[in-house]
Chain A
Amino acid sequence: MTPRSREEHGSTSEVLSELVAHLRRNRPQLREEWVRRITESRLLTSMTKEEIFAEATSVFDNYVEVLETGSVEALQAYARNLSERIIPRGVDTPEVVGIVLLLRDVLARSLFEKYQGDFPLLNRVLDAYEPAANRIATTVSVGFVQERERVIRQQQEAIRELSTPVLQVRERLLILPIIGVVDSERARQLTEQLLRGVRANRAKVVVMDITGVPSVDATVANHLVQTVEASRLLGATVIVTGLSPEIAQTLVTIGVDLSKMNTVGDLQGGIEEAERRLGYRVLSVGEHAAPETEG
């Protein structure tokens, strides 16, 4: 097909339509070229050739469609969709950026080849193609990164939840052994889990053991205090055990009156103290045990 003369070409959208038509017509060759270059660059190594080919087909078609319509929503949806599909396959950011740029290059060269006879026309074609192609590259890359970050956040949340078990040892008594570094996020999760545990188990005493916590900063120390205060609002007393001199110092620094806090040296002692409290708890009418004198 011979390139038309300059006067016959109008707006950018007309040029765009023409180049999109060209790309669609040459789909099989372009797609193959792209896959070849992906493999050559050693990208998407976690996928098989068949898988790459399958993905390449849908990515190519979507790419061309977005070039044509220029719809930002469609592009973002496409980027999100693509990320959701390939992240579980272990594809990382440089690979995604790499393959999108390769596709951009493969298509650009095809355009060079077609319009090389007419330099002004080639320029107009590139003027139409480049912004669109760059927008696609940027949106897909950014979308991928954001999706990855979201997945990582979710995984971190799940890990935090698993690493803070609330144990019911006896009736009305919960134990919360905390091990490892506690950051603000973990402290928040801890508090939420404990409070739900108090409610679900109708706990009256909680033994919170922090023997396994090396140190805390003022913010986290504050969270621990909040945990104790919030538990009280649900009718439960918190006994803190394993308080290191260092953490005790941090608490004092933020203004906590340690004498007002229930602390016991170690977990064993804490449980004994808890049982004592529960045992000496005055029984309400109807419950078993000690006979009472009238009046």
Chain B
Amino acid sequence: MDREQRVVIAADRDIVTARQEGRQLASTLDFSSSDLTVIAVAISEVARNILSYARTGAITLQVVEKNGRRGIMVVAEDAGPGIEDIGLALEDGFSTSGSLGLGLPGARRLMDEFEIHSEVGKGTTVTLRKWAR
């Protein structure tokens, strides 16, 4: 397992930092430039989610490997209010209409793997993975 990079999310500048570091890390793998942008956007979305709903949290970036393929794993966690209805939060209408700004359905569409664990009152952890060619 490679070292992990952690970016604390507490201010909106941190969103930029997180996605730039994510892009940087992903560029060491076999990703197309289009993929790098997609990864950066996905990180931006989940990082902003942390800021909007939990005020602080952290993004952890790590290179992972499965079946001989390498990829990037992004874990966004916070100790915020948690999501009551995950199913609803993952519905498409939310992100495109923009009213609630939940970037979750968007981030999920962009990445290869998406996992979410959330408990009301405890917090939320979103795990994203994208595999290089």
Contacts and interface: CB of A to CB of B under 8 A. Distances in A.
Interface of A: 142-143, 145-147, 149-150, 153-154, 157, 188, 192
Cβ-closest 10 pairs across A and B: A146-B68, A192-B34, A153-B133, A157-B133, A146-B67, A150-B68, A149-B68, A154-B133, A192-B32, A143-B68
Contacts of A150: 68-69
Contacts of A192: 32, 34
Interface string B17-50: 0000000000000001010000000000000000
Nearest to B68: A146
A150 B40 CA distance: 25
A269 B32 CA distance: 35
A150 B30 CA distance: 11
8 contacts: A146-B67, A146-B68, A147-B68, A149-B68, A153-B133, A154-B133, A157-B133, A192-B34
B95 to A, nearest CB: 16
Nearest to A146: B68
Contacts, number: 16
A96 to B, nearest CB: 15
Interface of B: 32, 34, 67-69, 133
A157 B35 CA distance: 14
Given A145-B68, A146-B69, 9 more contacts: A142-B68, A146-B67, A146-B68, A150-B68, A150-B69, A153-B133, A154-B133, A157-B133, A192-B34
Contacts of B69: 146, 150
Contacts of B133: 153-154, 157
A254 B133 CA distance: 29
Contacts of B34: 188, 192
Contacts of A153: 133
A152 to B, nearest CB: 11
A145 B67 CA distance: 10
A150 B68 CA distance: 9
Contacts of A188: 34
A143 B69 CA distance: 11
A157 B67 CA distance: 19
Nearest to B34: A192
Nearest to A157: B133
Contacts of A149: 68
A248 B67 CA distance: 39
Nearest to B133: A153
A186 to B, nearest CB: 14
A272 to B, nearest CB: 33
A154 B32 CA distance: 12
A150 B70 CA distance: 11
Nearest to A156: B133
Contacts of A142: 68
A147 B68 CA distance: 8
A81 to B, nearest CB: 14
A106 B61 CA distance: 46
B107 to A, nearest CB: 17
Contacts of B32: 192
B120 to A, nearest CB: 34
A154 B67 CA distance: 16
B64 to A, nearest CB: 15
Nearest to A150: B68
A147 B133 CA distance: 12
